[in-house]
Amino acid sequence: MSTRIKGAQLALEFGGTDYWADATSVVLDNEDAGAATTFEDASLGGARKFFFTISAIQSTTASSFWNYVWANTGEVVTYTYAPWGNVTPTADQPHFTGSVKIGAKPAIGGDAGVNNEFTFTTRFDCEEVPTLEVA
Amino acid sequence: MSAIGVARADIAALVEEATSVKGFAYLPERLVPPCAVVMPGATYIESGDTFGSFTARYTVDLVMGNAANSVSSSGLDDQLENAIIALVNEGYSIEQVSQPYAMEVNNAAYLSATIQVTTKIRP
């Protein structure tokens, strides 16, 4: 039986800093690139564009992910995404790496309520197909 | 000390400072009201909303001293308000406060109420 990935750990580095602890949801997905499809693209199943959809807590602490997105909107940085939360990639627990463009400035605020905790969702578009690191 | 224990001690200290009654982070062998006792809540620990985090739940039993009913009732309201403000200002979440009840201690009844507090921990 294959080992399932659970949502209890994660490594999510952008520009060399790990922001995993602020994240509430991280998905690396892909969609139709929207551009003209070449015959090579078609032979590989069509041109695809990869992107991150990230939800995280809102925090204006200097070291927070929210603050990082706010300060670096539009910049292209390297990323390392480890769904297993492991430091060193292996064949069974690989890392996904590449470069990504930081998304738009994040939302701030939410619904009233003493116990309400604000979150935001952002999208980072990858510059290329992610590299699967296994060692 | 564990993250769970640190939070428990912190809650006891905050309530003690806000209400000026003795705060215990454990169930004392002999309870002498007025006092506040922080105990594990139900469910004590559950999965949190960020990766690697958990939510810990505690109950704070605020027990008033021996006094006339009119004094105890308004005193409990005052103490609850002080405790809630102190806890919320330090980032703790208040789930609910129970209806005041009579706690039997040493063959006497003392007006009490229970605050349910939650906080995020990362062991």
- DSSP assignment string, B22-90: EEESS--SS--SSEEEEEEEEEEEEE-SSTT-EEEEEEEEEE--S--HHHHHHHHHHHHHHHHHHHHHT
**Nearest CB to B52 within list A8, A114, A117:** A8
The token pair that represents B112 in the structure block: 């009490």
Residues in chain A, pLDDT under 50:
none
- CA-nearest residue to B92 within chain A is A115
Task: Tell me which chain A residue has its CA closest to the CA of residue B49.
Answer: A24
The beta-carbon neighbor of A8 closest among B51, B95, B118 is: B51
- Tell me whether residues B50 and A22 touch, CB distance under 8 A: yes
For residue B43, pLDDT over 80 is answered with yes
Amino acid, single-letter form, for residue B47? S
pLDDT of residue B106: 79
ipTM: 0.78
* HSE of A132, CA atoms in CB hemisphere, 13 A: 6
Give the model's pLDDT for residue B94: 95
Residues of B in contact with A81 (CB under 8 A): none
Q: How distant, in Å, are the alpha carbons of B78, B82, B99, B107, B108 from that of B68? A: 15, 21, 19, 17, 13
For residues B110 and B73, which has the higher predicted lDDT (pLDDT)? B110
Helix (H, G, I), strand (E, B) or coil at B37: strand
B107 — pLDDT class (breaks 50, 70, 90): confident
Q: Is pLDDT larger for residue B66 or for residue A129?
A: A129
Which pLDDT score is estimated for A98? Answer: 97
Q: In the prediction, which pLDDT does A46 show?
A: 77
Tell me what pLDDT residue A34 has: 78
Distance between CA A87 and CA B22 in Å, rounded? 46
Residue B105 pLDDT > 80: yes
> Token pair 């594990």 is at which residue?
B40
Name the average pLDDT for chain B.
Answer: 92
Test A85 with B93 for CB contact under 8 angstroms: no
pTM of the model: 0.83
Span A88-124, pLDDT tens digits: 999 999 999 999 999 999 999 999 988 889 999 999 9
pLDDT of residue B70: 79
What's the CA gap between A105 and A74, in Å, rounded? 9
* Contact assignment for B51 to A115 by CB distance below 8 Å: no
Chain B residues whose CB is inside 8 A of the A117 CB are 49
Contact B36, B50 (CB under 8 A): no
Percent of chain B with pLDDT over 70: 100
Reduce the DSSP state of residue B13 to 3 states and report it. helix
The amino acid at residue A71 is A
**Nearest by CB: A23 against B50, B88, B93:** B50
**Residue B9 confidence (pLDDT):** 96
